[in-house]
Structure 1
Amino acid sequence: MIRIGIKKLTLDDFESILFKNEKIELEEKALIKVEESFEFLKGFSKDKLIYGINTGFGPMAQYKVDEENLLDLQYNLIRSHCAGMGEPLDDLKIKSAMICRLNSLIQGYSGVHPEVVILLKDLINNDVYPQIFEHGGVGASGDLVQLAHLALNLIGEGEVKYKGTFRPTAEVYNELGLKPISVHLREGLALINGTSVMTGIGMLNLILAERAINWSLASSMMIIEMVESYSDHYSTELNAVKPHIGQQAVAAAMQKSLGSSKLIRKREEHLFNKEITKQEVLKDKVQEYYSIRCIPQILGPILDTFLYAKTVIENEANSVNDNPIVDKENQNIWHGGNFHGDYVSLEMDKLKIALTKLSVLSERQLNFLFNRNLNGILPPFVNLGKLGLNLGMQAAQFTATSTTAENQTLSNPMYVHSISCNNDNQDVVSMGTNSALICNKVINNTLQVLSIELLSIAQAIDALEIEDKLSENSKKVFDEVRTLVPKFVEDSILHQKLNKIISFVQVNNPAII
């Protein structure tokens, strides 16, 4: 059970809720604070002009709204902003976004009635997913359009997905014994004015990116063993003179994981002797290709990017990010722009660039495996059948190469694509939701390329008959792949095999680093 309302939520908490179906519970002290914030706003807002309670919204904030229309104002805001288009977001993205919205509101700075956070908790625990669409937000007054669709379901309208099917919200609530919220003061504005969708997708992206980094490291180390590489390129001594945190962490993980390998060689035992100096043309490769030799230097900055993004997105997931902020302790209402999504947008752009580079690394390693002129030890396309008659993994390279090319195009930044809108009220915007969604596409593309590489590596290991010489970690990964897809000689439908691998890597983490 994950308790929400007192401690900071971490990436591990999100992973437990999203992938391990951990339920959530609301801290009683936090619920009391939400109640106190609501009661303070109710009293404080009398005889005052407060944005979004008795004024219009955005550029129409200069218009005062009469008291008899205040509740209609909130309902109008929700319904009018349900303008999303495109495909519905998938369940994991929506669940993560709901966790983020709940975690923001429960901090007691939004002036909502406690029934809001209670219903959000019930929807999350019952796997009821609002119908939220991919297109709609510019990420400046938060995820206005996407969160309006969430708010629409909270007031009992629209459709939700339950047990895989979209149904009328009221019908599902009735089935589960749930009650829609009522609008009391500013529930409409508090629900839609925040960064929770982009942040929720960002948290999911981080979970998947961490898996991709670990699978890439696992794949790289198996290739290093396969070519019987020298150990000095991931040694402490070499990497210590370049003081980057990510590079040294990757090198340390490689040292630990490859320590049990029977294939790794020491340079001083093979190349630092008189006999080898007599050879005019060396049989042993003195240095491997960069995609094999430079793993700490390539994965290091990717890891650093991930770690910094993790800090930023966790901070955003634990922030109060609507406007205005209701501050009972200081007896005031603070107006500003905590809804602005620049923090998320920039980190998602950086993360997608890093993961694109990871897909490039994987694709180049795959090319090395498939090209006998490069590796010198494997049949073309790791084809275990009859050359000419059988084709092995040949066609899978087309998929990996085209998918990597798509990543390279998608890695152009969204963060700088600010377009003024909302009568120029929103004159500098973040495009954070777009950035998070594109980043998600890049990461899933990268996991697909890695899946092709993992299956190809398994075929290569069988071709070389080195299974028993692998390090413990590599042997474990090899066995996992072979459990999903046994060694194959004859050609068959690769799509079916690769789908098994991608389904596995998306939900599992080899946790090497």
Structure 2
Amino acid sequence: MLSLEEVHRVLFEGEELVLDATAVQHVNDNFSFLKVFSAKKLIYGINTGFGPMAQYRIPEKDTLELQYNLIRSHSSGAGKCLAPIHTKALMIARLSSFMQGYSGVHTDLVYLLRDLINHNIYPCIYEHGGVGASGDLVQLAHLAHALIGEGNVLYEDEIRPAAEVFEQLGLKPLTVHIREGLALINGTSAMTGIALVNLIEARKLLLWSCSLSAMINEVVEAFDDHLSYELNIVKRHTGQNKVAEMMRGMLEGSKMIRHRPDHFYKELEEEIFKDKVQEYYSLRCVPQILGPIYDILMQAETIIVGELNSVSDNPVVDHKQENVFHGGNFHGDYISLEMDKLKIAMTKLSMLSERQLNYLMNDKLNHKFPPFMNLGKLGFNFGMQGVQFTATSTVAENQTLSYPMYLHSIPNNNDNQDIVSMGCNAAQLTYKVIENTFEVLTVQVMTLLQAVDYLNCQDRLGAFTFKIYQDIRAIFPKFIDDAPRYADVQRIKAYLMRHEPVVAEQTVGKRKKSSVQ
């Protein structure tokens, strides 16, 4: 069984993946059972056609070629190739499914998949093609096409024939033994792999959003009671209380956050207060806005990691019960729905960031900073005005992209696949929303750093937010004069995607290598 943390280490830290010997033995036992059991029996995808063509029996002499026909015919994707990180995650997910020992595949397949993962060989898999029922057929067919040595792969930043790379590294292309063609393409591993990356990046975005929300409360000298334990504990939601707790920790030691009793809980003579009694919602309702997102991420981890460690092809070969079960474990509704929920959550996070950004930009709202955080000459210089357009338009794109793919079933395959999940589309659109959201938070952090310099309040920040200021100022110096900012946006976005502002919880007993069982 793989955890999200183990997947993270293989994907982002270069950790090698090893196969558990006991699990490999189960794979071998399962294959050996199927080899004997399938003789003289009608079993879908072994001696029948596929989908609506399953009514046609395939002669024994043609059964192996049938598997190659399936792989070649379904290698029909379009669009761009998946990013290497998504392809690697896809292979991890497919390997994890096979290692459960219910797919009837030869051990050659699991060893070859392991080798591709550890050698950073990325089959060219195209973004368009899967409908997410009968699995991610087209995307996984391109994986299979590379494994049999006929497709292309990306290796050391160069697209080359798979057979050529295999020969260079001493790897043997896969030979079909019984049903490796169907087993490879009939699963949810493309959507699951991308979903794993999405979840890792979304957790990072939540931490950054909490951090920048803490920082804006700090620079505007907000009151501390909306983050207090006492206020939040009476709202009985785990996420809200966790977000408030994190933000309290992030603001520890700040000399800017104010304590309400020091200002308002005493006898006052003014009839009209210049100071705001309560901040705008985008500042004081952060736990209530980001809390549900925290809860969504926790649920998403349960669902996605569950799918990672599931058997998602058809039929299921059960050597323990000595039977083969036909059904629909390839259907991707679990991932599709979870990706839509995550996509909506990330869009809302980007909306919060945009509203906080707008508050900093609009002097009529904040009554504290120059328009557009312009540190130069008003009317002559423009400050952050141009970059705000980028953030606003990107949030608008997120809002449009957030229509649920889960509700977008289109029957196909001669109506054999009469209701489908569109899970791979959902996962890819979610990644686009996540990437967009990093751009929005980039503009927000640029503006916050300019705000700190305008106030010259570096020595009044808490240690946590001061470190953010220092680290990002190292790649984005304070500016007064106008200049193109697109390179700054790209550089800071890359920084946010590579780093986490707080230390993530570590699993006890960290291993050097992740093991698929």
TM-score normalized with structure 2 length: 0.96
Supply the distance in 2 between the matched residues of 1:246 and 1:91 (Cα, whole angstroms): 32
Distance in 2 between the 1:512 and 1:477 partners?
Answer: 13
Q: In the TM superposition, what are the counterparts of 1:82-231 in structure 2 within 5 Å? A: 82-231=75-224
Match of 2:353 among 362, 365, 369: 362
- In 2, the alpha carbon distance for the partners of 1:14 and 1:491 equals 43
Equivalent in 377, 398, 401 of residue 389 of structure 2: 398
1:102 CA drift (Å): 0.5
Aligned to 2:514: none
Contact 2:211 2:250 in 1 (8 A): no
Contact 1:19–1:507, Cα closer than 8 Å, also in 2: no
1:54 alignment partner in structure 2: 47
* Match of residue 269, structure 1, among 237, 262, 270: 262
SS of 1:484's equivalent?
A: coil
* CA positional deviation for 1:455: 1.1
Alignment partner of 1:435 is 2:418: no
Match in the other structure for 2:337: 346
Kept in 2, the 8 Å contact 1:53–1:185? The answer is yes
Structure 1 distance, partners of 2:430, 2:489, is: 22
After superposition, the C-alpha distances for 1:250-300 in whole angstroms (9 at most, x for unaligned) are 1111222212111111111110111xx211111221000000010000000
Identity of aligned residues (%): 57
2:29 matched to 1:44? Answer: no
Tell me the alpha carbon deviations over residues 129-179 of structure 1, each in whole angstroms, 9 at most, x when there is no partner: 001111101101110010000000000011101111111111111111111
Secondary structure (helix, strand or coil) at the match of 1:415 reads helix
Other-structure match for 1:16: 9
SS in 2 for 1:86: strand
Distance 2:438 2:224 in 1: 27
3-state secondary structure, aligned to 1:145: helix
CA distance in 2 between partners of 1:261 and 1:269 (Å): 16
The amino acid across from 1:221 in the alignment is A
Q: In the alignment, what sits opposite 2:374?
A: 383
Contact 1:260/1:471, CA 8 A, preserved across alignment = yes
Residue type at the aligned position of 1:301: P
Aligned to 1:458: 449
- Give structure 1 regions of 4+ aligned residues with deviation exceeding 2 angstroms: none
RMSD across aligned positions (CA): 0.9
The question of 1:237 aligning with 2:230 is answered yes
Deviation at 1:512, TM superposition (A): 6.7
Moved more, 69-78 or 492-501: 492-501
CA–CA distance in 1 between the matches of 2:177 and 2:362?
67
Q: Partner residue of 2:509?
A: none
Question: Contact 1:393–1:456 at 8 Å: present in 2 too?
Answer: yes
In 2, Cα distance between equivalents of 1:377 and 1:332: 72
CA distance in 2, matches of 1:484, 1:96: 30
Aligned equivalent of 2:327: 336
- What do residues 361-413 of structure 1 show as CA deviations (whole Å, max 9, x unaligned)? 00111111111111111111111222222211110000000000000000000
- Is the contact between residue 194 and residue 428 of structure 2 (CA under 8 Å) also seen in structure 1? yes
**Alignment equivalent of 2:460, drawn from 465, 469, 473:** 469
Q: Which residue of 2 aligns with 1:75?
A: 68
- Number of aligned positions between the proteins: 504
1:236-263 CA distance string (max 9 Å, x none): 1111111011101111112222121111
Report if aligned partners of 1:218, 1:512 keep a CA contact under 8 Å in 2: no
Determine the C-alpha separation between the residues in 2 that align with 1:217 and 1:143: 35
The answer to whether the 8 Å contact 1:371/1:380 transfers is yes
Q: Deviations over 1:105-139 (max 9, x none)?
A: 11111111101011111111111100111110110
The CA distance in 2 between the partners of 1:32 and 1:14, in whole Å, is: 23
Q: 2:309 aligns with which of 318, 331, 351?
A: 318
Q: How does 1:484-503 map to 2 (within 5 A)?
A: 484-503=475-494
1:331 partner letter: E
Query: Aligned to 1:25, what secondary structure does the other structure show?
Result: strand
Alignment partners' CA distance in 2, 1:19 and 1:241: 39
Match of 2:507 in 1: none
Q: Distance in 2 between matches of 1:259 and 1:458?
A: 19
CA distance in 2: counterparts of 1:98 and 1:468, whole angstroms: 48
In 2, Cα distance between equivalents of 1:10 and 1:474: 31
2:472 is matched with which residue? Answer: 481
Does the 8 Å contact 2:48/2:55 carry over to 1? Answer: yes
Aligned to 2:48, the other structure's residue is in SS state: coil
One-letter code of the match for 1:60? M
Mapped partners of 2:135, 2:84: distance in 1: 20
Q: Greater relative contact order (Cα 8 A, min sep 6): structure 1 or 2?
A: 2
Q: Which amino acid is 2:95 matched to?
A: L
CA distance in 2, matches of 1:145, 1:131: 12
In 1, Cα distance between equivalents of 2:90 and 2:246: 33
> Quick one: distance in 1 between partners of 2:112 and 2:265?
70
- Residue identity matched to 2:245: A
Q: Equivalent of 1:292, from 283, 303, 317?
A: 283
Amino acid at match of 2:3: T
Checking the alignment, whether the CA contact within 8 Å between 1:356 and 1:407 is kept in structure 2 is yes
- Which of 242, 248, 260 pairs up with 1:249? 242
Q: Distance in 1 between the 2:303 and 2:291 partners?
A: 19
Question: Do the aligned partners of 2:406 and 2:423 also contact (CA within 8 Å) in 1?
Answer: yes
SS at match of 1:123: helix
TM normalised by structure 1 equals: 0.97
Query: Secondary structure at the residue paired with 2:406?
Result: coil
Alignment partners' CA distance in 1, 2:451 and 2:238 = 32
Structure 2 unmatched ranges of 5 or more: 505-517
Deviation at 1:183, TM superposition (A): 0.3
Instruction: Indicate the residue corresponding to 1:4 in structure 2.
Output: none
Task: Identify which range, 287-296 or 382-391, moves more after superposition.
Answer: 382-391
CA contact (8 A) 2:100 2:311 kept: yes
Q: One-letter code of the match for 1:436?
A: A
